[in-house]
Amino acid sequence: MPNPSARRPISLAILVVAISTLTPSFSYADEEELPVLATAQAKEDSFADSYVEVNEAKRADDSNYVTITWTLRNRGGDTISYADFQNDLYEYRDRSVSAVTALDEKEKIRYHPLQDENGFCICAGQFAPGDFMNEIKDKKSSPYWTSYIIPENISEISIEVPGFEKTPSFPVK
Amino acid sequence: MKRSLTDHGGTKGWWFYALGLTTATLMLTSCVSQSDSGGDNGGNGEGTSNESGENSGKEDSPIATALTSATIHKEEMQVDIVSLERHQNNRVILGMKVTNKGDKDLTISDMFMAPSRNGGERYTANGISLIDYQNYKRYRPLMDQETESCLCSNWKDTVTLSQDDSLDFWVAFPSPPDSINKIGVNTNVTPDFIDVPISEAESPNKEVTEASIEDPTILDLVSRQDDLSDDSSREETGEKTSIMLSSDVLFDLNESKLTSEADEKLEAVAKEIDSSSGTTVKIDGYTDSSGNDSINLPLSEKRAESVKKKLEELVSREGVTFETAGHGSKNPVANNDTDEGRSKNRRVAITFER
């Protein structure tokens, strides 16, 4: 039976390390601890068992502005590039994830990501610096986001990433 | 620890104002520091973001922290907004801090720059913008007339941040209207920060307020939405609404006489015009790119006229005038290479001030 007092320096050391780092230590594996509001499975064969998770849907106070953060997890699929999710209906002058739309299923309205008058998307990928997650290999994941104008009276929405099912609706707060 | 996208500091205590002051004195430079460098930063204000250093209590209290990042570092790249202050001469200064919490080197040189074709400058954050969602505007950084660079800090040759390194930097923007006291902040790599509070600067920053600047770049934001039940679409900016009704619903093929279904759609549009502020309503007819403009042009013109006649009957607000034009296949709103896109392009657009 170990002497309890002998443990103290160890616990102290752990405490010091914990305090000095101050933030969670995430591994490089696919282990983020973001919340999950909704999930949608892939429907295209090349994505295999990949899926999309919605992590956060925030509305700015007294506004129509909504930012949705979502994570794409590759599970057994071909390498997925963010640039595969460009809007092919409306023109966006970048390689952003502009094809990811928000859906109000009740009103049957599809919202496309906001863009500026020069055609740049207010979403991930308007510019991809060197460390950007350009590609998601099997067993890897990346968070991305898209911003929309969605009327204030709408409190639930779903998103659709091309090649994946629509997510179930989730609350916008 | 779960982080919130807009993890505001809550009630503004003394530290908030102290932070404002500290930040103001630090504004003139961007700087890299290491958390393991001890408390030897001296009094020059350049060794800011040292977790174990003297300033740690204040500097570690950001007003917002990004939930995550779309980089290989994910949450291990911590992106904070340290301050957003309204200065004289219609300028606001955004103070930010990025910290590498992981053991992989973080390439910072291009992380926050605009795309090259949009004036991108390495070692600066000229790709960051403010999003005024009340007025549907995007503010790009101010440009210094003398240096022709952004009015923002430059971290020169710092290419990477090693583990525990952090970098403080600032960017100056045109001031949003006085009525705006919270705003969005958009970067290349983080979900948008929303409702970031704008505070009044405690001390002036002459380098920024007295710099000669080029005309500010304030861009309209454009929102598009599709009604899946009737194939109509809507485009909104801060000033205008454009309702695009599908010609396939309004008219029979090659006809310019309205269908019975059109009445119902136009009644809804008329109600919206009645409750808007605009006095001029523009009605523009378009076709897709198939066929010949010698047919498409007059057809789109006649169709716009038909819509005008109906709206004149339906709109009850006084003093509204209507202007029509036919454009044939010009100005497609969507991609003419797909059926869905061509269908979107066959439209009559009704545009009015909100």
**Residue pLDDT, tens place only, B9-55:** 333 344 444 444 444 444 445 667 765 433 333 333 333 343 433 34
Residue B112 sits at the chain A interface (C-beta within 8 Å): yes
Count of A-B CB contacts under 8 Å = 180
Top residue of B1, B72, B161 to mutate, by most chain A CBs within 10 Å, is B72
Query: Is B161:B23 a contact under the CB 8 Å cutoff?
Result: no
What average pLDDT is seen over chain A?
Answer: 87
CB contact under 8 Å between A131 and B111, yes or no, is yes
- pTM assigned to the model: 0.84
Answer whether A110 sits within 8 Å of B341, measured CB to CB. Answer: no
B91 closest CA partner among B218, B208, B212, B194: B208
Of B193, B252, B80, give the one whose Cα is nearest residue A56.
B193
Q: Per the structure block, which two tokens stand in for A147?
A: 């911003």
Average pLDDT, integer, range A83-100? 96
The DSSP 8-state label assigned to residue A44 in this structure reads: S
Q: Which residue has the higher pLDDT, B127 or A26?
A: B127
Q: Is A67 on the interface with B (CB under 8 A)?
A: yes
pLDDT grade for B59, boundaries at 50, 70 and 90: low
Task: Pick the closest to residue B188 from A113, A143, A124, A134 (CA basis).
Answer: A124
Closest CA to A54 of A96, A87, A100: A100
> Nearest CA to B265 among B219, B314, B298, B217?
B314
Q: What is the mean pLDDT of residues B155-175?
A: 96
In sequence order, the 6+-apart residues with CB closer than 8 A to the CB of B264 are: none
User: ipTM, 2 decimals?
Assistant: 0.84
DSSP of B335-346: -TTSHHHHHHHS
| Interface mutation target, options A55, A59, A109, A114, chain B, most CBs of B under 10 Å | A114
Compare all CA atoms of chain A with the CA of B134 and give the residue at the minimum distance.
A63
- With an 8 Å Cβ cutoff, are A129 and B195 in contact? no
Element (H, E) at A20: helix A4-21
Give the position of tokens 């500097």: B59
Q: Strand B240-246 and strand B233-236: pairing?
A: antiparallel
Nearest to B189 among A59, A63, A129 (CB): A129
With cut-offs at 50, 70 and 90, classify the pLDDT of residue A33. confident
Asked if the model's pLDDT at residue B325 lies above 80, the reply is: yes
Cα(B338)–Cα(B345) distance, integer angstroms: 11
Report CB contact under 8 Å: B189, A132: yes
Partners of A145 on chain B (C-beta within 8 Å) are 70, 190-192
Binning pLDDT at 50, 70 and 90, where does residue A32 land? low
Whether the CB-CB separation of A149 and A111 falls below 8 Å is answered with yes
Shortest Cα distance, chain B CAs vs residue A148, angstroms: 7
* Average predicted confidence (pLDDT) for chain B: 87
Closest residue to B67, CB basis, from A34, A61, A65 = A34
Residue B56 predicted with pLDDT over 50: no
Taking the C-alpha atoms of residue B77 and residue B112, their distance in angstroms, rounded to an integer, is: 13
Considering only CB atoms, which chain B residues are within 8 Å of A147? 131, 186, 192
Residues on chain B touching A132 (C-beta within 8 angstroms) = 70-71, 188-189
Q: Choose among A50, A10, A22: nearest CA to A161.
A: A50
Q: Do B184 and A60 touch (CB under 8 A)?
A: yes
pLDDT for position B20: 44
Contact state of B222 with A111 under an 8 Å Cβ cutoff: no
Q: How far is CA A55 from CA B35, B73, B257, B293, in A?
A: 30, 17, 49, 48
In B268-338, the DSSP E strands lie at 280-286, 321-326
A70/B contact by beta carbon, under 8 A: no
* Alpha-carbon gap: A19 to the closest alpha carbon of chain B (Å): 10
Instruction: Check residue B41 and give its pLDDT.
Output: 32
Q: Residue B133 above 70 pLDDT?
A: yes
Q: Which of A24, A110, A144 sits opposite B226 (nearest CB)?
A: A110
Q: In chain A, whose CA is at the least distance from the CA of B231?
A: A109
Q: Do the beta carbons of residue A132 and residue B71 sit within 8 Å?
A: yes
Specify burial of residue B70 (Cβ count, 10 A radius: 0-12, 13-18, 19+): buried
Interface with B, mutate which of A111, A131, A142 (most B CBs under 10 A): A131
Given a cut of 50, whether residue B122 has pLDDT beyond it is yes
Contacts of B236 in chain A (CB under 8 A): 149
B208 phi/psi in degrees, rounded to 5: -90, -45
Which band of pLDDT confidence, cut at 50, 70 and 90, is reported for residue B255? very high
Put simply, the answer to whether A127 touches B186 (Cβ < 8 Å) is no
Q: Look at residue A15 and give its three-state secondary structure.
A: helix
pLDDT, tens digit (0-9, with 9 covering 90-100), for B210-229: 999 999 999 999 999 999 99
Report yes or no: B5 at the A interface, CB cutoff 8 Å.
yes
Contact between chains at B224 and A112 (C-beta distance less than 8 A): yes
Within 8 A by CB and 6+ apart from B218, the residues are B137, B138, B139, B140, B174
Distance of alpha carbon B189 from alpha carbon B282, whole angstroms: 39
A143 contacts chain B (CB < 8 A): yes
Determine contact: B102 vs chain A, CB below 8 A. Answer: yes
Residue B274 structure tokens? 């009645």
Amino acid at B272: E
B-chain residues near A117 (CB < 8 A): 219-222, 237
Confirm or reject contact between A115 and chain B (CB < 8 A): yes
